[in-house]
Structure 1
Amino acid sequence: MSTTSTAALATGTANAAKLFVAALAFTSAYVGFSAYGNASSAARPARSFTLSAREVPVTETMDAPAKAGTLTLSVLAGGGAACARTYVARTVVVNPDPAEPVQYGWKLARWSPATKTWRTYLVAYDGFAGATRNVEWRPGLAGNPGRYRVELSVKGAKTVKSEPFQVSC
């Protein structure tokens, strides 16, 4: 064997040994980090807690059943703060075309003495499919005395308005 081939063989063997050591170091580091990751991701002990509920009595009364074309308005008892109250508006919506869904919108309007017009204060929209449905809306007022009314507009029908009511603190 010549000295050139012996030198090339020794250099190749040395390079192979370096690659083997590097691969071994990488593998051991990978295994070490994997073991560390598994040790730190152990499941935490489960905590148990108890949920409790209390029954709250219904505090509203409905004097008369809702009728189509008429808005029934009532106040929920126990409104909380001095001027915070929740109102309940109810009616029956009759779908002008029962084969199609109907859309309707609630509006709480406030009287503006400056412009002498009813101005929109709160709105809500909904809809259903079918011939008729009892619907209700619960707008809340807090700290804003004035004269209000509830309006219900049904697509394809006339807008229904409640009698005006006064909110005072």
Structure 2
Amino acid sequence: MSKATTAALTTGSATAARLCVAALAATSAYLGFSAYDTANSAPRPAQPVTLQAREVPITSHTPAPAPGVIAVSAKAGAAGCDRTYLARSVVINPEPGTTVLYRWQLSRWSPRSKQWSAYLVDHSGFGGLKRTLTWEPRVADNPGWYRIELTVRSNGKTIKSDRFQVSC
């Protein structure tokens, strides 16, 4: 064998040996980290947790109004001329197997035309015998006289609340 061939084989063998040692080191490092991770993943002992809750009493409970009546109240927390109202009424379905469709309407009195006009409208429905309906219309920056109307499609009747004044 010539000196050049011997040098090439020696250099190649040394490189192969280094690569083999590097591969073994990487494999052992991976296995070491894997074993360490597995040891850390053991479940920790359970610690008791105490949950606390406090009871908040209902400060004002208003019973459901009678069927055919709309009860209106201002919701607390309104500031300035931005107010939300709670309208409630009870509707009885004459045919419990069908759906009752209804429409809420917030009407505003116009001093100029001397009549009520629609300000806000909402449609919905329900199935069943009887339901207490609620609606929360909001009046923002528009003082005046208002009333809430509820029209039930099954009987075509419209019931109206007493008028109320929004002032800033």
Give the alignment's TM-score, normalised by structure 1.
0.59
Cα distance in 2 between the residues matched to 1:101 and 1:133: 11
- Post-superposition offset of 1:165: 0.7
| 1:133 Cα deviation from its structure 2 partner | 1.8
One-letter identity of the residue aligned with 2:54: S
Query: Match of 2:58?
Result: 56
Deviation (angstroms), 1:125: 4.2
Q: List gaps (5 residues or longer) in structure 1.
A: none
Aligned to 1:148: 146
1:158 Cα deviation (Å)? Answer: 1.9
Q: Which of 73, 76, 86 in structure 2 is aligned with 1:75?
A: 73
Q: Which residue of 2 aligns with 1:65?
A: 66
- Return 5+ residue gaps in structure 2 as ranges: none
The equivalent residue for 1:18 is 18
Q: Aligned partners of 1:126, 1:30: CA distance in 2, in Å?
A: 65
The aligned length equals 158
2: CA distance, partners of 1:153 / 1:17: 91
In structure 2, the partner of 1:106 is 104
Q: Distance in 2 between matches of 1:46 and 1:16?
A: 57
Q: CA deviation at 1:7?
A: 5.3
What is the CA deviation profile of residues 10-49 of structure 1, one whole-angstrom value per residue up to 9, with x for unaligned ones? 444333323223334444268559958x86xx97x77645
Cα root mean square deviation, aligned: 4.4
CA deviation string 1:60-103 (max 9, x = no partner): 255x621xxx2332437x8455875643320314266x544344
In the other structure, the counterpart of 2:136 is 139
Between the aligned partners of 1:118 and 1:10, the Cα distance in structure 2 is: 102
Task: Determine what percentage of the aligned residue pairs are the same residue.
Answer: 26
Partners in 2 of 1:34 and 1:119 — Cα distance? 73
Amino acid at match of 1:127: G
